[in-house]
Amino acid sequence: MLIDTAEITVRGGYGGSGMAKKPKGPDSGNGGNGGDVYIKCSSNLYLLKEFSQKFLFTAGNGGIGARNNKTGKEGDDIEILLPIGTSIYDKNTGKLILELSKIDERVFICKGGRGGLGGLTSEQGERGEEKKLILSLRLIADFGLIGLPNAGKSSLLNELTNAQAKVANYPFTTLEPNLGIFEGKCLADIPGLIEGASAGKGLGIAFLKHIEKVEVLLHCISCETVNSLKDYQTVRYELSKFKFELTKKPEIVILTKTDLVDAGYVKKLTKELKKENKKVIPVSIYDYESLEKAKKLIFLPHNQY
């Protein structure tokens, strides 16, 4: 399951205690500082899953100070790996701390406690800083496959990328977003939308949040349905209901399953759809050439169609 929100507590390590000096003994060292907490951005999109089992993350504690002014060892820092696209909120203030958008980006989150001073008395180390975080994942894909159920979105994802999404001849085969990578670009395939999805019909439109940030929409329309133009408009309407800005994104229409109808009909549909959107690519997963052509067009910089 793709977990897209989680709540965790992170804590810097305790500072080590300072050492008390013995009368006439050598000077005693301070405790080491506790380790800090960092968050690091990773390309593994399924990382949030781990947080359904583990909720507390603490950095290492500082070591106790020693004789001869020797400071205790510093506590180990910890690095929490989170998927790209994760927004991190402070639970107490509700404020957004940051949004992970660059792979390998490493961000400081919590400071470890200061080590206690050594001397005539032993000072205790301080507690590390603690934060409760809410993690919320929105996928950052380059392309988002949208369309009615059964339009062939997952099939296309499998053909264009290394994905192995489930495909079947019934609506709502896809229940969670699938991702695939092709030539370094990430494609997200999301569950089908139906008329009324914005009012909660079918699986609703909550999944659209996963494609809010994609650069280009790949709108799949099947040739085999009764009214392909209406299919197009239905999905556009539901998109606009979710967030009007989504309808402003660059969109490519992919006319799917062209092998199921005759070439004349494909031409007619392409022409009709071109009135709505200039970029229409007819394709069949059983037609190698059409797939190669689609790949070229889809992966062109989107201002060069």
Question: Which spans of this chain sit near ligand GTP (rule: CB under 6 A)?
Answer: 147, 149-155, 167-169, 171-174, 191-192, 256-257, 259-260, 284-286
| 103 interface partner picked from ligand GTP, Mg ion, none, CB below 5 to 8 A per type | none
Q: Give the helix ranges, DSSP H, for 161-304.
A: 228-242, 263-274, 288-298
For residue 94, the minimal CB distance to ligand GTP (Å) is 35
For residue 254, the minimal CB distance to Mg ion (Å) is 14
Cα–Cα distance list, 13 to 35, 80, 92, 134 (Å) = 5, 14, 20, 20
Rg (CA), the chain: 27
For residue 8, the minimal CB distance to Mg ion (Å) is 31
| 69 interface partner picked from ligand GTP, Mg ion, none, CB below 5 to 8 A per type | none
For residue 45, the minimal CB distance to Mg ion (Å) is 17
- Exposure on the CB side of residue 155, measured as CA atoms within 13 A: 22
For residue 290, the minimal CB distance to ligand GTP (Å) is 9
Query: For residues 190 and 1, what is the distance between their CA atoms, to the nearest angstrom?
Result: 13
For residue 258, the minimal CB distance to Mg ion (Å) is 18
Query: Which position's Cβ is nearest ligand GTP?
Result: 192
For residue 93, the minimal CB distance to ligand GTP (Å) is 39
Q: DSSP 3-state assignment of 222? A: strand
* C-alpha dihedral sign at 191, 195, 198, 200: negative
Query: For residues 243 and 246, what is the distance between their CA atoms, to the nearest angstrom?
Result: 6
The neighbouring-strand residues paired with 142 are none
* C-alpha dihedral sign at 222, 228, 232, 235: negative
Residue type, 121: T
Residues of the shown chain interacting with Mg ion in the complex, contacts defined by CB under 5 A: 153-154, 173-174
| 29 interface partner picked from ligand GTP, Mg ion, none, CB below 5 to 8 A per type | none
The smaller minimum CB distance to Mg ion, of residues 73 and 153, is found at 153
The token pair that represents 205 in the structure block: 């439109």
The smaller minimum CB distance to Mg ion, of residues 21 and 153, is found at 153
The smaller minimum CB distance to ligand GTP, of residues 17 and 150, is found at 150
| 169 interface partner picked from ligand GTP, Mg ion, none, CB below 5 to 8 A per type | ligand GTP
| 272 interface partner picked from Mg ion, ligand GTP, none, CB below 5 to 8 A per type | none
The neighbouring-strand residues paired with 9 are 56, 132
The smaller minimum CB distance to ligand GTP, of residues 70 and 236, is found at 236
The smaller minimum CB distance to ligand GTP, of residues 199 and 260, is found at 260
Residues 254/154, Cβ–Cβ less than 8 Å: no
The smaller minimum CB distance to Mg ion, of residues 123 and 189, is found at 189
CA dihedral 26, 27, 33, 34 (to 10 degrees): 40
The smaller minimum CB distance to ligand GTP, of residues 122 and 150, is found at 150
